[in-house]
Chain A
């Protein structure tokens, strides 16, 4: 597990007190219910920020409110008063940053381009050149279908799929995975920021942070048997991915509790949330809980009861992988409610 060290629980509580400035603006930060850290290791922080007014009167997301929610998320995650400071802890000027979005679900349920725009803005404020940022997924046409404007060359943020540059010729392998990795990762990226969506998945149970990296390799179809276990965990151990991964910000403005990963409007809901963490296993564990909550509201069985519980989470957390923690007692879940 490669994480920026977290402070201990006591310090975390102190930081909440230190964040009272949010209360003055009508926003609160409070720890999730029933989170008791008993671990010797510092807990993994997962921030869940929600803004019920994110969409105003209409159904589309308000870009200003989204930017504000992003800032609050980063402040809470990095325990800082200023969002800009959080970003400077993530990236340094001169670095190349790849933003891995999820565009499989078209405009219905993909990473929102407005969120990506907001992140690009903050990255540039942190000193990253526009041309050093690449917004990417597997396929350029899927990106277009999801509402992204393709940009290749010029003095702008780049946006295209791996189909434009291809995959490495050589194999990268770890455990049960042997794949060719996107050249976007190997040739254009020092820092990888993962921007998945929150979705049910017919095979994996859920697809959030770790599963989103299936879009970084040439042969994702090979890794769906056995509920994607241990493939999801093994894939995230590939050095090209593991050494670059810094942060996950999950777009849960629209989420899916059943029938995923394709877009099925009847199974989607507006959670109006962002979920962020530097621990992708903790983030996925938290996202899974949110999906289960929604499934229960709709009278659906749990994923475990449907025999598609995400067993790969335990694999990702095991001593061979150490990609993060799936133990709720070791996760500091911080809820940020925006008024």
Chain B
């Protein structure tokens, strides 16, 4: 991972909270409604927070100031790195390329297993950040020869204004945009913001409402609606399911999930079953056994999904892409690196079966 704190520059990573209280980071939010007595209702994610004057929404990065709602994280990049696109993971979108990846503080859910909780569950003033306006991000991505800008690490829904303008700046510079998201977003911002994305990865954290309520502090239904809407928008879409031992690892849940994906998104949407590592508030659980991940894959394969992967297990054969028709290996991966690419003109070189994805810049 390449840190780019210095080139982004105007605010030192050691900036104090006060020195970060900067008008540069504060712009009016785009998706909200004014209400009586200086209240506002946020229209960005399904929480639809009603926020009183001088209060913040659940995500902690949006504040009501005198009846006007502001995002406090515009251009406030608390992380900027160059990552392999496989790390997101995108397996069918520009494999083998690097993504210029940015994040701000904040998240609209609170997953008990979050690996980036120190930024996602913090307020912007608690996290050192750099001033990185959209044009600067696009310029840095171009200088770094990254074909994509990735909005990732925390939850891009909560920095949607920054994401939209950065995507525009990137497109103007010939750089595409990809987002790694929980899909917890209302319909209008989904259309307007994710409409600007070239590829979307959604973390579908479980297939049960109770898990979403208890472990994620969110709801499943809006995420499923987002997935269906993205499919209709014809965005390149991949889905990740983090398998947490004892909490969302039943065979029935794997089966329900696979059937839903097949019925609503189609058999060609890549589905990644990822291994859980203890973190944040779920430190008491063991790592996901590889056998469980393999069982999940078997079930999804049996339901007819064409591209089912196992993630976070470097060197596992299920990291590779195989032709669903002739079963030959087409893309070989080792951890986060693509080591072999055989797909030619979007098809299997052995049987000419079309392999969905965006394979070349």
Across the interface, do A222 and B54 meet the contact criterion of CB distance under 8 Å? no
Asked if A225 is at the interface (CB within 8 A of a chain B CB), the reply is yes
Across the interface, do A262 and B126 meet the contact criterion of CB distance under 8 Å? no
List residues of chain A with CB within 8 A of the CB of B54: 104, 262
Across the interface, do A222 and B55 meet the contact criterion of CB distance under 8 Å? no
In angstroms, Cα B59 to Cα A261, docked, is: 18
**Given A219-B60, A221-B58: A171 touches B281 (CB 8 Å cut-off):** yes
B242 to chain A, nearest CB (A): 18
In angstroms, Cα B123 to Cα A193, docked, is: 26
Asked if A224 is at the interface (CB within 8 A of a chain B CB), the reply is yes
Pick the contact of A219: B21, B39, B122 (CB < 8 A). B122
List residues of chain A with CB within 8 A of the CB of B280: 171, 178
Pick the contact of B121: A163, A219, A225, A261 (CB < 8 A). A219
Asked if A140 is at the interface (CB within 8 A of a chain B CB), the reply is yes
List residues of chain B with CB within 8 A of the CB of A264: 37
Pick the contact of B58: A163, A173, A225 (CB < 8 A). A225
Asked if A202 is at the interface (CB within 8 A of a chain B CB), the reply is yes
Pick the contact of B17: A104, A163, A221 (CB < 8 A). A163
List residues of chain B with CB within 8 A of the CB of A225: 47, 58, 217
Name the residue on A nearest B114 (C-beta).
Answer: A178
Asked if A218 is at the interface (CB within 8 A of a chain B CB), the reply is yes
Helix, strand, loop or mixed for chain B's interface? loop
In angstroms, Cα B122 to Cα A260, docked, is: 24
List residues of chain A with CB within 8 A of the CB of B50: 202
B-contact bits for A141-176, CB 8 A (1 contact / 0 none): 100000000000000000000010011000101000
A328 to chain B, nearest CB (A): 29
Across the interface, do B125 and A163 meet the contact criterion of CB distance under 8 Å? yes
**Given A261-B52, A262-B55, A264-B37: A222 touches B17 (CB 8 Å cut-off):** no
Asked if A259 is at the interface (CB within 8 A of a chain B CB), the reply is yes
Across the interface, do B121 and A222 meet the contact criterion of CB distance under 8 Å? yes
Asked if B110 is at the interface (CB within 8 A of a chain A CB), the reply is yes
In angstroms, Cα B38 to Cα A132, docked, is: 40
List residues of chain B with CB within 8 A of the CB of A262: 38, 52-55
Asked if B18 is at the interface (CB within 8 A of a chain A CB), the reply is yes
**Given A163-B18, A171-B281: A221 touches B53 (CB 8 Å cut-off):** no
Asked if B196 is at the interface (CB within 8 A of a chain A CB), the reply is no
In angstroms, Cα B197 to Cα A215, docked, is: 38
Helix, strand, loop or mixed for chain A's interface? loop
List residues of chain A with CB within 8 A of the CB of B37: 259, 264
A206 to chain B, nearest CB (A): 14
B-contact bits for A259-270, CB 8 A (1 contact / 0 none): 111101000000
Q: Within residues 206 to 225 of chain A, which ones have a CB less than 8 A from any CB in chain B?
A: 218-219, 221-222, 224-225
Q: Within residues 92 to 121 of chain B, which ones have a CB less than 8 A from any CB in chain A?
A: 110, 112, 117, 121
In angstroms, Cα B85 to Cα A91, docked, is: 58
Pick the contact of A140: B18, B47, B53, B58 (CB < 8 A). B18
Pick the contact of B126: A167, A171, A202, A259 (CB < 8 A). A167
A281 to chain B, nearest CB (A): 25
Across the interface, do B281 and A221 meet the contact criterion of CB distance under 8 Å? no
Across the interface, do B52 and A202 meet the contact criterion of CB distance under 8 Å? yes
Asked if B56 is at the interface (CB within 8 A of a chain A CB), the reply is yes
A300 to chain B, nearest CB (A): 14
Asked if B57 is at the interface (CB within 8 A of a chain A CB), the reply is yes
List residues of chain A with CB within 8 A of the CB of B16: 163
Name the residue on B nearest A266 (C-beta).
Answer: B37
Across the interface, do B60 and A221 meet the contact criterion of CB distance under 8 Å? yes
Across the interface, do B56 and A221 meet the contact criterion of CB distance under 8 Å? yes
A224 to chain B, nearest CB (A): 7
In angstroms, Cα B325 to Cα A48, docked, is: 79
In angstroms, Cα B219 to Cα A225, docked, is: 13
Pick the contact of A222: B52, B53, B110, B126 (CB < 8 A). B110
A-B contact pairs, 21 of them (CB 8 A): A104-B54, A140-B18, A141-B21, A163-B17, A166-B126, A167-B126, A171-B117, A178-B112, A178-B280, A178-B281, A218-B121, A218-B122, A221-B56, A221-B58, A221-B59, A222-B58, A225-B47, A225-B217, A262-B38, A262-B54, A262-B55
Chain A residues near B (Cβ < 8 Å): 104, 140-141, 163, 166-167, 171, 173, 178, 202, 218-219, 221-222, 224-225, 259-262, 264
Q: A166-B126, A221-B123, A225-B217 are in contact. List 13 more A-B contacts (CB 8 A).
A: A104-B54, A140-B18, A141-B18, A167-B126, A171-B281, A178-B280, A202-B39, A221-B59, A222-B60, A222-B110, A259-B37, A261-B55, A262-B52
Shortest Cβ-Cβ A-B pairs, 8 listed: A221-B60, A163-B17, A262-B53, A178-B281, A262-B54, A262-B52, A221-B56, A222-B110
